[in-house]
Amino acid sequence: MVTPAPLELVCPAGTLPALKAAVDHGADCVYLGFRDDTNARNFNGLNFDDAALADGLRYAHTRGRKVLLALNTYPQADNWQRWTGAVDRAAKAGVDALIVADPGLMGYVRRNHPQLRLHLSVQGSATNYEAINFYREHFAIQRAVLPRVLSLVQVEQVIAHTEVEIEVFGFGGLCVMVEGRCALSAYATGTSPNCNGACSPASSVRWEQTPEGMETRLNGILINRYADGESAGYPTLCKGRFAVEEETYYAIEEPTSLNTLELLPQLLEDGVRAIKIEGRQRSPIYVAQVTRVWRAAIDACRRDPAHFVAQPGWMAELNKVSEGQSHTLGAYYRPWK
């Protein structure tokens, strides 16, 4: 029997404690960002300065794990040096790979730091193998992270026609957009998540207790209203409840999390090289809990893929930290296709 290729578990690290939690519970790689708009989780209290990055690299590398740095937003004409400076800082620190979306920035990496491994970010919105092969030919990318809009059949087609390693999202929050092309938050706030790194930036978020319940607003737009005792989520337009034809409901997307645990044998057989866990904005407890479950599941699947079953206990643990306390296979499973 042919031994399946290694399947890396790539886990989020929004803070140094989260990085340590991921490493301690079985992550093969952690991904993180600097404390500025060069990464797509640009929120106060998250991310790494140079000292924290150095500490994180020491912690991961002494335990044989990799650190990937996300520079996955798009620089503009007036701030190019901030992104190139971030590349230089990452190279000097000794990260294992950069996760990049902007082709110009990839060109800068190739010219100035050719030894740095490049991964194409999900923010690059590459949904076909021709696009991925273009990035490989021109910028020598070695891995591509696929957007969460492809079916399993489409993932298989991509893998069959490229030598680039393919990474897919396995667990975490969903996005109704093709990543890298979201305009909803920018429309409401004037701040682009693709350029400024923050969907629903905190400066535009308001919480207000009213006689009708807890209201959440984004730049003055009513996103949701919660009854007393109802769990109130962070206000994003895609997960808001809106009045449509005299009915109020989640008109764009219901709060739920992607969970592909039961698809692990198929992903392994198809040649997926890495499973990504979403959640750099989540707590170290979340990171530890999700990493522990996925480490156990991947190890069990590699031992005996033919008899792999997603254990009820694993699913229950993941549902505890899922949006809306529920999960979905998302676009991966399309019975109508």
Strand partners, 148: none
Domain 8-174+256-332 of CATH type 3.40.50.720: no
Which DSSP state fits 77?
A: T
Tell whether the model's pLDDT for residue 325 goes beyond 90. no
pLDDT band (50, 70, 90) for residue 27: very high
Q: Which of the pair, 191 or 134, is modelled with greater confidence?
A: 134
| Terminal Cα distance for the chain, rounded | 32
Among 80-84, 203-207, 232-236, the range of highest mean pLDDT: 80-84
Phi/psi at 262 (nearest 5 deg)?
-70, -10
Strand partners, 12: 31
Residue 335: its pLDDT value, please?
Answer: 64
Report how far residue 301's alpha carbon sits from residue 272's, in angstroms, rounded to the nearest whole number: 13
Report how far residue 8's alpha carbon sits from residue 166's, in angstroms, rounded to the nearest whole number: 11
- Assess contact for 311 and 130: CB atoms under 8 A: no
For the chain, give the percent of residues with pLDDT over 70. 96
Tell whether the model's pLDDT for residue 109 goes beyond 50. yes
- Assess contact for 326 and 256: CB atoms under 8 A: yes
- Assess contact for 305 and 265: CB atoms under 8 A: yes
Tell whether the model's pLDDT for residue 1 goes beyond 50. no
Positions of E strands within the chain:
8-12, 29-32, 66-71, 97-100, 118-120, 143-145, 165-173, 205-210, 213-218, 221-226, 241-244, 247-250, 257-259, 274-277, 327-328
- What single string gives the DSSP state of each residue in 145-187? EPPTT--HHHHHHHHHT-SSEEEEEEEEE--SSPTT---HHHH
Residue 5: its pLDDT value, please?
Answer: 66
Q: What is the mean pLDDT of the chain?
A: 92
Strands 165-173 and 274-277 turn out to be parallel
Tokens (6 digits) for 171: 């667990």
Q: For the ranges 41-55, 89-103, 170-184, 256-270, which has the lowest average pLDDT?
A: 170-184
Domain ranges of the chain: 8-174+256-332, 184-250
**Shortest CA distance to 237 belongs to which of 259, 284, 212, 205?**
205
CB atoms within 10 A of CB 81: 10
Tell whether the model's pLDDT for residue 332 goes beyond 60. yes
CA distances, 170 to each of 7, 250, 267, 290, 301 (Å)? 12, 24, 10, 11, 14
